Amino acid sequence: MQPQVIWFFGLSGAGKTTLSDAVAKTLRQKGIAVKQLDGDDLRRGLNSNLGFSLEDRLENIRRSAEVAKLFMESGFVTLCSFITPTEETRRVMQQVLHNTPLTQVYVQASLDTCRRRDPKGFYLKVDRGEIKNFTGIDSLFEAPRHPDVTITTDHSSVDVCVHILLDAINPTQPCDSMPRAVQ
């Protein structure tokens, strides 16, 4: 597998980081150099001075895409997990990565599923009024028009989702070690 950027996006709790972690593990086991970037991690460091206004969200994605590009240019398959909520934020990412091998993966899950999972307790905080401007609740999440791959995580295991994704991005070398999706 050649160096590239795989950009996972979707609602909080959809499974972006879980899927990225599982893909990274699978690729590393095959001897492939991988770097991972996660929106929560970058918001605590490089992007800690940014809020959640539209302007700050765009800058968050721009900076993150620039870092992803540097890793990819250094020879890594770079896995990025960011909500990337609107077509405008995706355009910013695409502009930075326009000459970069890029796969955009929409990690889709219903809002009910995301609320049920709530791995970081964000939805509970939204319900208690502790968080405002939360994507998918009181801030817009636009379903993508043309993602390269859509992975629906509501009822599929992580292993099946990884298999679907790796087969989609590398169809000449199917991911034989992963279970096949039941059709």
Per-residue CA distances from 96 to 14, 25, 63, 99 (Å): 25, 27, 9, 8
pLDDT, position 172? 57
pLDDT at 53: 84
- Asked whether residue 64 is marked as a ligand-binding residue, the answer is no
| Residue 11 assigned ligand-binding role | yes
Does a structural domain hold residue 175? no
157 is in an annotated binding site: no
Report if residue 131 sits inside a domain. yes
Identify whether 78 is part of a domain: yes
Is 14 annotated to bind a ligand? Reply is yes
Are 46 and 120 in contact by the 8 Å Cβ rule? The answer is no
Domain that holds residue 140: 4-169
- Please give the pLDDT value at position 147: 96
Report yes or no on 183 lying in a domain: no
pLDDT of residue 51: 87
pTM: 0.89
The answer to whether 17 is a known ligand-binding residue is yes
Domain membership flag for residue 177: no
- Per-residue pLDDT tens digits for 76-101: 999 999 999 999 999 999 999 999 99
pLDDT score, position 54:
87
Asked whether residue 176 is domain-assigned, the answer is no
Residue 13 assigned to a binding site: yes
Counting as low any pLDDT under 70, the low residues of the chain are 171-183
Secondary structure in 3-state letters for 128-177? CCCCCCCECCCECCCCCCCCCEEEECCCCCHHHHHHHHHHHHCCCCCCCC
Residue 179 belongs to a domain: no
How many domains does the structure of the chain reveal? 1
Closest to 156 measured CA to CA, from 179, 122, 177 = 179
Task: Tell me whether residue 129 is annotated as binding.
Answer: no
- The pLDDT score that the predictor gives to residue 110 is 95
3-state secondary structure the chain: CCCEEEEEECCCCCCHHHHHHHHHHHHHHCCCCEEEEEHHHHHHCCCCCCCCCHHHHHHHHHHHHHHHHHHHHCCCEEEEECCCCCHHHHHHHHHHCCCCCEEEEEEECCHHHHHHHCCCCHHHHHHCCCCCCCECCCECCCCCCCCCEEEECCCCCHHHHHHHHHHHHCCCCCCCCCCCCCC
- Residue 142: which CATH number? 3.40.50.300
Q: Is 10 annotated as a binding residue?
A: yes
Query: What pLDDT does 173 receive?
Result: 58
